[in-house]
C-alpha cells in the first residue's frame, strides 16, 4: 500500500491550493530521491477514484516500464500508451504514456490530469499539447526546473522539500566530494553556450588514466574494496576509452550510450542492479541522469565538464544520493570542475530548494579563480569550511586565519557541501543544538551532563534550555566528529 511521507502530503495539498487559485499548470520541485513518483502515483490514483482519466508522460521507454512496475507494486490498475507495448489498455483510467505516443495521437480524450515527468527536459510537442488543451490540469515534476521557457508553461512552483532537509531526515545520503586536476577546457569550442561534446571527449580522454587510478585509490581507501560506481563521461568515445582502461586495471566497467540497442542497455542495467553483480560500474554521458534510482551505488564520477548546465550537474549528483543501509555518505569524484564551478548555486539550492522558475541557474557560470579555490578549502585537508564552524570536520584543524597553501597537482581534495560563512546564533538555533546534543548523549548512553559541556564548548555559555532530546542532524554529528578528531590530534 502506498504510504506518503509528511512532506509529500504537504506538497500535494499545496498543489491542490494552486489549482484552486487558478494555476492550471504547476511545477512540483523535489530533489532526486525525494519521491516524486510516489506523489505522482498518489495523484493519479486519487483522480481515478473520482472516476476521471489521468496520465503520466515520460520520454523514454525504460522510464515508462519503470513507472508501470511501480504502479504494479502498489496494486494500481493502469495501461501503457506506447506503440507495441504489451500493456496497451487504453480503456483504463490511469495511463503511462510515452511523449512520442502523445505527440503522435495529439489527444488524450477525457483526461483531467496530466503529469509530466522530468519536466525540465522540454519537448515542443508536449508544450504545444499543454497549450492546446486548457481543460487538462498539468503538473510538471523536476529536481532541476531551470530550463529556459518553463515559466511560460508553468505558472506556479510548489517546493516539496529541500536537499538539506531530506539529508537531515535520512531520506538522502550526504555527499563527500573530492576534486582533482580538471579536464582542461581552456579555449575549447562552445556550441549554444556549452562546451562541445567533441572537445569535451577529446580532452576527457587525456585524463582517463587519472580517472581510473583515482577511483582505485578512493574505493579501496574508503571502502576497502571496489564498490558500485556510475561514471558520467564526456562522450561516447571517452566512455569506451574509460571502459578499456578500467578493464586493463582488472575492473569491469560497462559503457552504454545512444548507439547501443535497448536490449543491451536493459541487460547491462539489470545485471548492475544485482547485489552480487559482475559489473563494477556503468559509464554513460546522459543516459543515467534520468530514471536511474539504484540505491546501492556508492560512488559517482563526474568527467563531463559543463559551463552552464547546472541542471545536468544537479541531476548527476542526485543519482548517488539515494539512501542505502550500507551508505553513510555518497562519494563524488569530480574530474570536471563542476562542483566548484556551480558551488554557490548548489549551496543555495541545497538549503532553499526552488521557489520560482528562474533561467539564471542554467546560464554560463564563471569559473572560480585559483585563489578562490584555495581560499575555500581547509589548508590541511582541502575540505570547504562548514557554516557556523571554525573546526574542519574532516581533519579537525581549528581555523585561525587563511593560509596560502598550494595543493599537489592531481591529488584529490575532499570538499564539503557547506558555505564558508560565520554567522551569529539566534536562540532558536542554540535551543535546537542543545536538544540535539541531548539526543546524541542518550543515543550513546552518556549522562545528560555530556550535552551540557558540549554545548558550553560550542557556544561559550551554559545552556538555558529544557533537557529534551531531539534527533541529531548531520550538522551536529559532524561537529561532534570534528571535536573528537581535534582532541585526537592534540593528544
Separation CA 491–CA 486 (nearest Å): 9
Look at residue 377 and tell me if it is in a domain. Answer: no
Quick check: is 403 in a domain?
no
Final residue of a domain: which of 161, 189, 214?
Answer: 161
Residues 345 and 439 in one domain: no
- Round to whole Å and give the CA distance between 121 and 108: 21
Indicate if 178 and 84 belong to the same structural domain.
no
The total of other beta-carbon atoms located within 10 Å of residue 459's CB is: 14
Cβ atoms within 10 A of the Cβ of 429, count?
13
- Residue 447: give the domain boundaries: 427-490
Q: What gap in Å lies between CA 385 and CA 196, rounded to an integer?
A: 34
Residue 479 maps to a domain:
yes
Place of cell 529534551: 468
Tell me: do 277 and 311 sit in the same domain. yes
Asked if residue 327 is part of any domain, the answer here is yes
121 and 192 in a single domain? The answer is no
Based on the domain organization, do 95 and 191 belong to the same domain? Answer: no
Could you tell me the pTM of the whole model? Answer: 0.77
If one counts the domains in the chain, the total is: 3
Q: Which long-range contacts (CB under 8 A, 24 or more apart) does 312-316 make?
A: 312/144, 312/286, 313/338, 313/339, 313/342, 313/346, 314/32, 314/143, 314/144, 314/346, 314/349, 315/32, 315/143, 315/144, 315/289, 315/290, 316/232, 316/288, 316/289
CA distances from 151 to 154, 162, 320, 332, 357 (A): 5, 21, 29, 32, 6
| Distance, CA of 436 to CA of 478 (rounded, Å) | 12
Give the DSSP H/E element, type plus range, for residue 331.
strand 330-334
Do 178 and 260 lie in one domain? The reply is yes
CB-based contacts of 304: which residues, under 8 Å, 6+ apart?
Answer: 200, 204, 232, 233, 234, 235, 285, 312, 336
Provide the total of helices (H) and of strands (E) in the chain, helices listed first: 18, 16
Both 151 and 177 in a single domain? no
d(CA 393, CA 162) in angstroms, rounded, equals 23
**Long-range contacts from 267-271, C-beta under 8 angstroms, 24+ separation:** 269/62
- pLDDT tens string, the chain, 491 residues long: the values are 889 999 999 999 999 999 999 999 999 999 999 999 999 999 999 999 999 999 999 888 888 988 999 999 999 999 999 888 899 998 999 999 988 888 888 888 889 999 999 999 888 889 999 999 999 999 999 999 998 889 999 999 999 999 999 999 999 999 988 887 788 888 889 888 888 888 999 999 999 999 999 999 999 988 999 999 999 999 999 999 999 999 999 999 999 998 888 889 889 999 999 999 999 999 998 888 776 889 999 999 999 999 889 999 999 999 999 999 999 899 999 999 899 899 889 999 999 999 888 777 777 777 777 776 666 666 665 566 655 566 766 557 676 544 333 334 455 666 654 333 334 577 888 888 999 999 999 988 888 889 998 998 888 888 888 888 998 887 888 788 877 776 765 55
Q: Is residue 411 part of a domain?
A: no
Residue 146's domain is classified under what CATH number? 3.40.50.300
Q: Do 119 and 224 fall into the same domain?
A: no
Closest-CA residue to 437 (of 474, 469, 483): 469
Instruction: Note whether 192 and 229 are same-domain residues.
Output: yes
Instruction: Please identify, among 325, 342, 367, the residue that sits at the C-terminal boundary of a domain.
Output: 367
Label residue 221 exposed, middle or buried (CB < 10 Å: 0-12, 13-18, 19+): exposed
Quick one: cell of 284? 554513460
What is the C-alpha R_g of the chain? Answer: 24
Structural domain contains residue 468 = yes
**Are 232 and 360 in the same domain?**
yes
What pLDDT does 180 receive?
78
404 part of a folded domain: no
Same domain assignment for residues 253 and 128: no
From 98, 133, 161, the end of a domain falls on 161
Whether residue 182 is found in the same domain as residue 147? no
Distances in Å between the Cα of 7 and the Cα atoms of 10, 13, 35, 106, 463 are: 5, 10, 10, 35, 31
Q: Is residue 420 part of a domain?
A: no
C-alpha 458/C-alpha 106 separation (Å) is 62
Amino acid at each position: 500500500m502506498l504510504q506518503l511521507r509528511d512532506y509529500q502530503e504537504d506538497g500535494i495539498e499545496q498543489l491542490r491550493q494552486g489549482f484552486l487559485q487558478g494555476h492550471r499548470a504547476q511545477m512540483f520541485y523535489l530533489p532526486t530521491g525525494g519521491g516524486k513518483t510516489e506523489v505522482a502515483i498518489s495523484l493519479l490514483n486519487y483522480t481515478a477514484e473520482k472516476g476521471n482519466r489521468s496520465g503520466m508522460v515520460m520520454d523514454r521507454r525504460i522510464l515508462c516500464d519503470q513507472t508501470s512496475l511501480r504502479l504494479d507494486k502498489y496494486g494500481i490498475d493502469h495501461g501503457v500508451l506506447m506503440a507495441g507495448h504489451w500493456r496497451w489498455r487504453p480503456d483504463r483510467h490511469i495511463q503511462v504514456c510515452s511523449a512520442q505516443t502523445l505527440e503522435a495521437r495529439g489527444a488524450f480524450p477525457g483526461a483531467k490530469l496530466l503529469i509530466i515527468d522530468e519536466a525540465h527536459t522540454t519537448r515542443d510537442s508536449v508544450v504545444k499539447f499543454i497549450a492546446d488543451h486548457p481543460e487538462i490540469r498539468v503538473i510538471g515534476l523536476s529536481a532541476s526546473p531551470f530550463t529556459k521557457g518553463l515559466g511560460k508553461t508553468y505558472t506556479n512552483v510548489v517546493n516539496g522539500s529541500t536537499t538539506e532537509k531530506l539529508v537531515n531526515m535520512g531520506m538522502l545520503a550526504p555527499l563527500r566530494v573530492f576534486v582533482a586536476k580538471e579536464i582542461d577546457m581552456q579555449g575549447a569550442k562552445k556550441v549554444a553556450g556549452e562546451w562541445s561534446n567533441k572537445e569535451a571527449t577529446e580532452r576527457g580522454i587525456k585524463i582517463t588514466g587519472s580517472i581510473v587510478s583515482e577511483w582505485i585509490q578512493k574505493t579501496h581507501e574508503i571502502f576497502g574494496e571496489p564498490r558500485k560506481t556510475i561514471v558520467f563521461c564526456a562522450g561516447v568515445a571517452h566512455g569506451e576509452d574509460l571502459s578499456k582502461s578500467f578493464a586493463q586495471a582488472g575492473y569491469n566497467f560497462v559503457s552504454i550510450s545512444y548507439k547501443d540497442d535497448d536490449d543491451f542497455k536493459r541487460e547491462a542495467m539489470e545485471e548492475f542492479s544485482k547485489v552480487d553483480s559482475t559489473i563494477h560500474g556503468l559509464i554513460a554521458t546522459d543516459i543515467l541522469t534520468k530514471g536511474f534510482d539504484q540505491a546501492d551505488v556508492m560512488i559517482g564520477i563526474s568527467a563531463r565538464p559543463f559551463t552552464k548546465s547546472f541542471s545536468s550537474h544537479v541531476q548527476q549528483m542526485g543519482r548517488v544520493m539515494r539512501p542505502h543501509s550500507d551508505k553513510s555518505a555518497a562519494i563524488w569524484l569530480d574530474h570536471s570542475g563542476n562542483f566548484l564551478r556551480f558551488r554557490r548555486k548548489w549551496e543555495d539550492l541545497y538549503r532553499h530548494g526552488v521557489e520560482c522558475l528562474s533561467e539564471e541557474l542554467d546560464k554560463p557560470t564563471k569559473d572560480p579563480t585559483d585563489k578562490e579555490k584555495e581560499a575555500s578549502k581547509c589548508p590541511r585537508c582541502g575540505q570547504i569550511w562548514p557554516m557556523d564552524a571554525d573546526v574542519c570536520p574532516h581533519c579537525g584543524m581549528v581555523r585561525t586565519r587563511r593560509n596560502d597553501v598550494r595543493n599537489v597537482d592531481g591529488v584529490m581534495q575532499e570538499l564539503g557541501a557547506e558555505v564558508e560563512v560565520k554567522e551569529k546564533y539566534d536562540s532558536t538555533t542554540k535551543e535546537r543544538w542543545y536538544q540535539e546534543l541531548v539526543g546524541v548523549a542518550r543515543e550513546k548512553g552518556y549522562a545528560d551532563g555530556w550535552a551540557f559541556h558540549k554545548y558550553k564548548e560550542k557556544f561559550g555559555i551554559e545552556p538555558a534550555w529544557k533537557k529534551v532530546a531531539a534527533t541529531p542532524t548531520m550538522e551536529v554529528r559532524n561537529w561532534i566528529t570534528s571535536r573528537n578528531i581535534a582532541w585526537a590530534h592534540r593528544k
